[in-house]
Structure 1
């Protein structure tokens, strides 16, 4: 091997060493934003179908974000958050639960917004006849009336208000069957385990086993509104804010309208 060949080999070796050292320094590392983000959304049970349809639409545009849901009664979800259970976003079926979290400083300031509104309706099994108003709930043939537990289920709170405003609460209170969330009320009427029930219009809309008799006059109950906000303990506040912004988009509103929610 002559001198030129030796020098060439040395040059190649030096260049290789330099590249081995320099390349890690100049190769960009993946951005944190590109890593997978898991968002846990605690939401009122009445939002189940709409939010589940929204999930793949959102994830298609945000492939690094995984949405998971925790559905239940708004009161139970509020208690979970107060007790430290993980959640990035809370969507309630009433203001009271979000008000309570806000007063305790558990929400990210400035993230609270109203998502939608709803109506309270009286439903019965499809084969029921002769029922045309709330006052028929006092009839002897109506044995069981399913409603949400008023202390934790907003639909139950609204039902309680309506029955009292109409002056029939004392006549029907012995018939009331309390459920843990509004979907349990719907299931009780669908199965015939209850002769009637009070649910949201959106719940009645998804069932072909019940029929709506009448919608409650809105003057008889508090406004049915769905406020949402980011939870302060969230480890993904920016991503949670982006999800809330999407829920307020026209694309998400179209899904909510499809399921009967009232949106502006």
Structure 2
């Protein structure tokens, strides 16, 4: 092939190559148009917080589209054990101080982040149509067969119930009737379904159900004040996001939601 022919072919190949490169470059979106993935925060929270915290979660995510909240509900003692075993949690909200104390002693929480977020009251409940139980003393009657409380070793509400019944000189007499539950939500369910004649839950739990009634509030001087502490987990990879959410929980908007569901505001 003549030299001029080779030159012509090379020119054509160069043009095609440039066009191809241009088309390839055009297919790449500008770097600044890539969508930012939301920051995910995992919260482990006491089962009694579910209704109120679900509402708070919805409001927070609407205001912060770059945040995705995942909330794991359960008995505070069980959640504590999960964190001790390395569960990927950013923030812990317990229904009792003992669980956060235990994590703090093992340096598993950021001690400086800890706050007392909410308070609550312990109440005695029965089914809506129950006429057997009108006072705490009625629990000792032979007509009352089953009384549900949260398992004291892992459920703060159960610990408060045990403390109160002990101080009211009722614990020993009632032990044969006790039905232990994995969390306070289960206690509520047992009473709602008639599997227990009565149960001890928080005021906020009783308020959330249309199938039970409050017989009476457990005397406040018979058990330690109910406190829900919250703390950021030391191993969190989203510390700033967790701090921002914890701050929001202490604010007026979130506190109004909690109060609506029967909690007491302790946030300063």
What TM-score comes out, normalization by structure 2 length? 0.86
Q: How does 1:12-51 map to 2 (within 5 A)?
A: 34-51=36-53
Q: Which residue of 1 aligns with 2:97?
A: 95
Aligned 1:52-131 pairs, distance under 5 A: 52-131=54-133
Which structure 1 residue ranges, 4+ long, deviate > 2 Å from structure 2? 27-32
Query: Who wins on radius of gyration, i.e. which is larger?
Result: 2
SS in 1 for 2:158: helix
| CA deviation profile, 1:82-128 (whole Å, cap 9, x unmatched) | 01111110000010000010111011231101111000000000111
Aligned to 1:153: 155
User: Following the alignment from structure 1 to structure 2, what is the Cα–Cα distance between the partners of residues 30 and 41?
Assistant: 31
Relative to structure 1, is the Cα distance of residues 37 and 156 closer, same or farther in structure 2, using a 3 angstrom cutoff?
same
CA distance in 2, matches of 1:163, 1:260: 23
- CA displacement 1:188-238 (0-9 Å, x = unmatched): 000000000000000000101100011111211111000001101111111
Residue 169 of structure 1: aligned partner = 171
For 1:90 and 1:97, locate their aligned partners in 2 and report how far apart those are by CA, in whole Å: 10
CA distance in 1, matches of 2:231, 2:137: 38
CA RMSD across the alignment: 2.1
What secondary structure is seen at the aligned counterpart in 2 of 1:123?
strand
Residue 142 (structure 1) aligned to one of 141, 144, 168? 144
Between the two proteins, the alignment pairs up a number of residues equal to 244
> TM-score, structure 1 length as denominator?
0.87
Distance 2:78 2:262 in 1: 24
Stretches of structure 1 lacking an aligned partner (at least 5 in a row): 1-12
**Aligned CA distance change for structure 1 residues 225 and 31 (closer, same or farther; 3 Å):** farther
